[in-house]
């Protein structure tokens, strides 16, 4: 792919990736998906995202110093989400803009995201929402939200609360860990588990209402915790997790007309 003009003035440079195609079934993306690169260096990640043989790409890479590189024009379908789903939709690549945030991830020494980098992510998301809208706050998501069985990124260290304070994403303060009350764990069964699965589905997670706290349910709960209840990620639906989920559902933005 030849050099193209960046979509936002905050982009520092363009590194074209050949790994893209046309969006399917949508006129404009209505999701933003945040990832971490999960490689030892940002330079290695950028090389992979622009290599024809890798068959992966993204729209933007945000480096730790706040520098932003664009790899695919926003109007095109980048290949960043893989097998994924949200709110019954399975072609997440067609519906989303993918942002890779440089961080070695859980495999290579997961670390905190520098404030300069987080500020750049916020500015980039604001730019996208301002230019492309409407993108609902509850459709600014983690890769792990749409692919809980496969992915952990951007992970429990990513400061979603800071994004929310700047008007990016749907988020609530997590309920305390030490709450007493009924919870659920792998192996539990019954109508109460169905209601939990239904609540997670209603928010958007891809999960069957089996009535069994099975491995897919544990994976979805862990993904939920990585995004919304980050102090403990164990896949157990304890009272803190359940109350946080309820608060999110109750405060979810109304669907746009």
Q: What are the strands, taking DSSP E only, across the chain?
A: 13-14, 20-22, 31-36, 60-62, 68-70, 76-78, 96-101, 140-142
Domain membership flag for residue 2 = no
For 130-152, the pLDDT digits (tens) are: 998 789 999 999 999 999 999 99
Q: What is the pLDDT of residue 133?
A: 79
197 located within any domain: yes
Residue 139 has a pLDDT of 97
pLDDT band at 17 (very low <50, low <70, confident <90, very high): very high
pLDDT tier at 18, thresholds 50, 70, 90 = very high
pLDDT number for residue 182: 86
Per residue in 189-234, pLDDT (tens digit) is: 999 999 999 999 999 999 999 999 999 999 999 999 999 999 999 9
Domain membership of residue 170 (yes or no) is: no
Question: Is residue 220 situated within a structural domain?
Answer: yes
Alpha-carbon distances of 37 from 119, 132, 193, 251, rounded to whole Å: 17, 25, 34, 31
Identify the pLDDT of residue 223. 98
Nearest CA-CA partner of 174 in 229, 222, 224, 251: 229
pLDDT digits (tens, 9 = 90+) for 54-94: 999 999 999 999 999 999 999 999 999 999 999 999 999 99
Is 215 known to be catalytic?
Answer: no
* Whether residues 117 and 25 fall in one domain: yes
Active-site residue identified among 64, 75, 89, 100: 100
User: Is residue 185 included in any domain, yes or no?
Assistant: no
CB of 69 within 8 A of CB of 57?
A: no
Task: Give the total number of structural domains in the chain.
Answer: 2
Please determine, for residue 257, whether its predicted confidence score (pLDDT) is greater than 90: no
Q: Would strands 68-70 and 60-62 be described as parallel, antiparallel, or unpaired?
A: antiparallel
Mean pLDDT of 93-113: 98
Instruction: Give residue 208's domain range.
Output: 191-250
Note the pLDDT tens digit of each residue in 149-184.
999 999 999 999 999 999 999 999 999 999 888 899
Task: State mean pLDDT over 100-110.
Answer: 98
- The answer to whether residue 41 sits within a structural domain is yes
CA-wise closest residue to 209 among 227, 233, 230, 193: 193
Q: Are residues 31 and 158 in the same domain?
A: yes
* Alpha carbons 123 and 101: distance in angstroms, whole number: 13
Identify whether 175 is part of a domain: no
Tell me: do 100 and 218 sit in the same domain.
no
Q: What is the mean pLDDT of residues 38-59?
A: 98
Same domain, 60 and 108: yes
At 181 the pLDDT is: 85
Q: Out of 148, 165, 182, pick the residue that ends a domain.
A: 165
CATH number, domain containing residue 42: 3.40.80.10
> What is the distance between the alpha carbons of residues 214 and 165, in angstroms, rounded to a whole number?
35
Pair 60, 152 in one domain: yes
Is residue 178, in this structure, part of any structural domain at all? no
Beta bridge partners of 86: 89
- Cβ contacts of residue 191 below 8 Å, gap of 6+? 211
């Amino acid at each position: 792919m030849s050099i193209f003009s960046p979509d936002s003035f905050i982009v520092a440079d363009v590194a074209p990736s050949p790994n893209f195609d046309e969006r399917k079934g949508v006129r404009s993306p209505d999701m933003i998906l945040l990832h971490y690169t999960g490689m030892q260096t940002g330079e290695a990640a950028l090389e992979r995202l622009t290599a024809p043989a890798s068959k992966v790409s993204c729209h933007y890479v945000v480096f730790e110093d706040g520098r932003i590189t664009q790899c695919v024009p926003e109007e095109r379908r980048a290949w960043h989400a893989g097998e994924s789903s949200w709110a019954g939709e399975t072609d997440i690549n067609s519906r989303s803009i993918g942002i890779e945030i440089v961080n070695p991830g859980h495999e290579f020494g997961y670390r905190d995201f520098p404030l300069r980098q987080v500020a750049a992510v916020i500015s980039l998301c604001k730019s996208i929402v301002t230019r492309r809208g409407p993108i609902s706050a509850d459709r600014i998501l983690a890769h792990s939200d749409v692919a809980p069985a496969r992915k952990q990124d951007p992970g429990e260290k990513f400061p979603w609360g800071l994004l929310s304070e700047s008007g990016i994403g749907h988020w609530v303060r997590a309920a305390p860990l030490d709450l007493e009350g009924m919870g659920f764990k792998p192996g539990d069964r019954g109508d109460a588990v169905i209601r939990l699965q239904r609540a997670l589905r209603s928010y958007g997670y891809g999960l069957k209402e089996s009535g069994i706290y099975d491995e897919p349910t544990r994976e979805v709960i862990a993904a939920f915790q990585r995004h919304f209840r980050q102090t403990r990620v164990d896949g157990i639906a304890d009272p803190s997790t359940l109350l946080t989920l309820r608060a999110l559902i109750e405060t979810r933005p109304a669907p746009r007309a």
